[in-house]
Amino acid sequence: MALSADDAHASAAGHADHGHAATPVVSFVTGPDRYKHWSYRVQGAVATVTLAVDKDAPMVPGYELKLNSYDLGVDIELADIVRRLRFSHPGVRCVVITSGIAKMFCAGANIKMLASSTHTWKVNFCKFTNETRCELEDATTFSGQRYIAAVNGTAAGGGYELAESCAEIYLIDDGNSAVSLPEVPLLGVLPGTGGLTRLVDKRKVRRDHADVFCTKGEGFRLRDALRMRLVDGGWPKSKWEQGLQDRVAAIVGAETGAEPGIELPDVVVETTQEAGITTLSYPHVQVRIDPAARTAHLLLRAPTQPPETTGDSLVQAGAKAWSFAAFAQLDDALLQLRFNHNQVGLILLQTGGDAQQVLAHDAALTALRDQGHWLAREIQLHQARVLRRLDNMSRSMFALVLPGSAFAGVLAEVLWSADRAYMIDDPDKPNTIHVGPGSFGTYLMHNGQTRLQTRLIGEPELLAAVQARIGQAISPSDAEQLGLVTRSPDDLDWDDEVRLAIEERVSFSPDALTGMEQNLRFAGPETCDTKLFGRLTAWQNWIFQRPNAVGSRGALTMYGHPQAPVYDWTRT
């Protein structure tokens, strides 16, 4: 017997293993009045973002954030700033990232934090930091906010990786400041947030130069960094401020930065527990977590009100508009699952409500975007980014399409993010999905393709057939024939087939599943991003567990001690 989309929550596992015994449950909600490590100032079309880490305010007790090093708390603030600049200050055209601590731009991820963290924490920390860097690049590419790194001190490891995520890098020539990626020689690990990939794929550094750079712990100062394309320019200390001002002025041109934005309120979630089940309740999202079953049911609700159809009404709705709010809440729910409930092995994705309302909101947003409205553009970019976070979940994901579902338009992208999709075919209960035009170019994956292109990679005739059905109600049997769902069992077989699929999935090795899913989800072209989230995550996942890094005499363990690390010299 099939359940409706609203009562089908069966649940999934949640148990917080945060990587440190004293680590609290992580919240990703912050704001300028709560920042401890970052600040930003907007003057016209220019924003200056300054890192001055409070060394005595780590996320977890037990280490100091010396030398402008960072932990997850520092990066949560940066992610918040990047988003606020896009939505609250859309007139900004140049964002300067710099340091407020003398002679040190950023020393990267805090080594003692990494050494004292569990493997799960380290990998999730690196993934979130990667996603933040990608959002920064997304703002440069699509929002017209060009980020430049004003490296006014040494940038090492993750500090240089932060600079690499900017469109331009300028290094002060003060006889001391340098850029470096010292992870291989000093720590026995890889640069964890895209340093290697951005070096050769984005900055186009020659392979031999990159090899030298990544094995020279002290790095390079301006002259050699310029020669090797590690930076874009620089000035001596006496000309630093003027040189930077001139470059910013060239980027901004005649822009005034006067365009008003919207406020971003906190995402509010109510957490309840009953009979071993944890429920996260948001206005448009609900997650029910069953630790015993190691599953989570995630429900996205369709809008219940008509869409905003004018630019003024959209701005007036602001962050309360369903198209923004639902995906902000989904974003928070995904991060909650990733960090605070890492025993969940399978997320069961569902939707509920009026599919036609979803299509109407999509259409109104697209019409405003095509008219050049900045907020409509930013909301769709926001939706695309959250969907990419969903693609990146290191959890198995099955979509369950039930009567009363709203897998339509942008919510259908959730269906195509899933590893499998099951759609019940019950003749007494109509059940349909609806493809929207946005699925053919608005919500791109990390591989630069749509989810439908990726899903139907070897079947272009099916892709064309699906495109011909835009806006139509697609039945379970047609959805299976078109490749939109994996299986469409009838009402007699549904319970057993879905139950067995769930039980089988949660019985498999989580390590094997993570590797398998990351390989299968990003079919098609390889991009800088797919290397970050497929190749880098997989290799860093392995290297972070190796004795050469984290053993009792491994390089990460011994960093800062007088004894040298001891390696197993076997090459694998």
In whole angstroms, how far apart are CA 102 and each of 53, 170, 336, 381, 559?
12, 16, 36, 36, 24
Tell me the mean pLDDT in the region 442-446. 96
Q: How many residues appear in the chain?
A: 572
Whether residue 20 is predicted with pLDDT greater than 70 in this model: the reply is no
pLDDT value of position 543: 83
383 compared with 532, residue with greater pLDDT: 383
Provide the percentage of residues in the chain whose pLDDT is more than 70: 95
514: confidence class by pLDDT, cuts 50, 70, 90 = confident
Give yes or no: 250 in active site. Answer: no
Q: Active-site residue 503, yes or no?
A: no
Q: Looking at residue 9, what is its pLDDT?
A: 36
Say yes or no to pLDDT of 556 above 90.
no
Q: Is the pLDDT of residue 423 over 50?
A: yes
Strand partners, 296: 289, 347
Confidence bin at 6 (pLDDT 50/70/90): very low
Categorize the per-residue pLDDT at 24 as very low, low, confident or very high, splitting at 50, 70 and 90.
low
What was the pLDDT predicted at 191?
87
Report which DSSP code applies to 532.
Answer: I
H or E stretch at 388: helix 374-391
Q: Would you say 333 and 383 are in contact if contact means Cβ atoms under 8 Å apart?
A: no
Let me know: does 169 contact 220? Beta carbons within 8 Å. Answer: no
What band does 483 get if pLDDT is binned at 50, 70 and 90?
A: very high
Residue 270: is its pLDDT beyond 60? yes
Question: Catalytic annotation on 461?
Answer: no
CB count, 10 Å around CB of 240? 18
User: Is residue 494 a contact partner of residue 2, using CB atoms and an 8 Å limit?
Assistant: yes
- Contact indicator for 72, 126 with CB cutoff of 8 Å: no
**Range scoring the smallest mean pLDDT among 354-368, 425-439, 528-542:** 528-542
Q: At 481, list the tokens.
A: 């024939």
183 is catalytic: yes
Q: What percent of the chain has pLDDT over 90?
A: 82
The pLDDT of 438-446, averaged and rounded, is: 96
pTM of the complete model: 0.94
Domain boundaries defined on the chain: 32-252, 270-512
Active-site residue among 137, 161, 168, 378? Answer: 161
Residue 12 has pLDDT above 50, yes or no: no
Query: At which residue do the structure tokens 């520092």 appear?
Result: 74
Among residues 77, 164, 183, 308, the one annotated as catalytic is 183
Q: DSSP 3-state assignment of 285?
A: strand
pLDDT in tens, 313-337: 999 999 999 999 999 999 999 999 9
Q: Report residue 321 CA to chain centroid gap.
A: 22
70-97 per-position pLDDT tens digit: 999 999 999 999 999 999 999 999 999 9
Q: Which one from 5, 45, 109, 163 is the annotated catalytic residue?
A: 109
Residue 309 has pLDDT above 70, yes or no: yes
Count CB-CB contacts under 10 A for residue 165. Answer: 24
CATH code given to domain 32-252: 3.90.226.10
Q: What angle do CA 471, 317, 338 make, to 5 degrees?
A: 75
CATH fold match for the domains 32-252 and 270-512:
yes
Please state, in angstroms and rounded to a whole number, the distance separating the CA atoms of residues 341 and 540.
21
Q: Within 10 A of 103 (CB to CB), how many other CB atoms are there?
A: 14
Q: Decide if pLDDT at 11 tops 50.
A: no
Q: Which residues of 332-343 are buried (b: 16+ CB within 10 A; e: fewer)?
A: bbbbbbbbbbbe
Of 106-110, 178-182, 525-529, least confident by mean pLDDT is 525-529
Mean pLDDT of 408-416: 98
Element (H, E) at 414: helix 412-417
- What does the alpha-carbon distance between residue 68 and residue 70 come to, in Å, rounded to a whole number? 6
- The one-letter amino acid at 396: S
Q: Is the pLDDT score of 459 beyond 70?
A: yes
Instruction: Write down the mean pLDDT value for the chain.
Output: 93
Instruction: Let me know: does 151 contact 163? Beta carbons within 8 Å.
Output: yes
Superfamily of segment(s) 270-512? 2-enoyl-CoA Hydratase; Chain A, domain 1 (3.90.226.10)
Three-state SS at 236: strand
pLDDT exceeds 70 at position 1: no
pLDDT on residue 532: 86
Question: Which residue intervals of 151-239 are DSSP H helices?
Answer: 158-164, 183-187, 195-197, 207-214, 222-227
Cα angle, residue 533 at apex, residues 35 and 208 outer, rounded to 5°: 100
Candidates 19, 91, 158, 188; catalytic one: 158
Supply the pLDDT for residue 538. Answer: 67
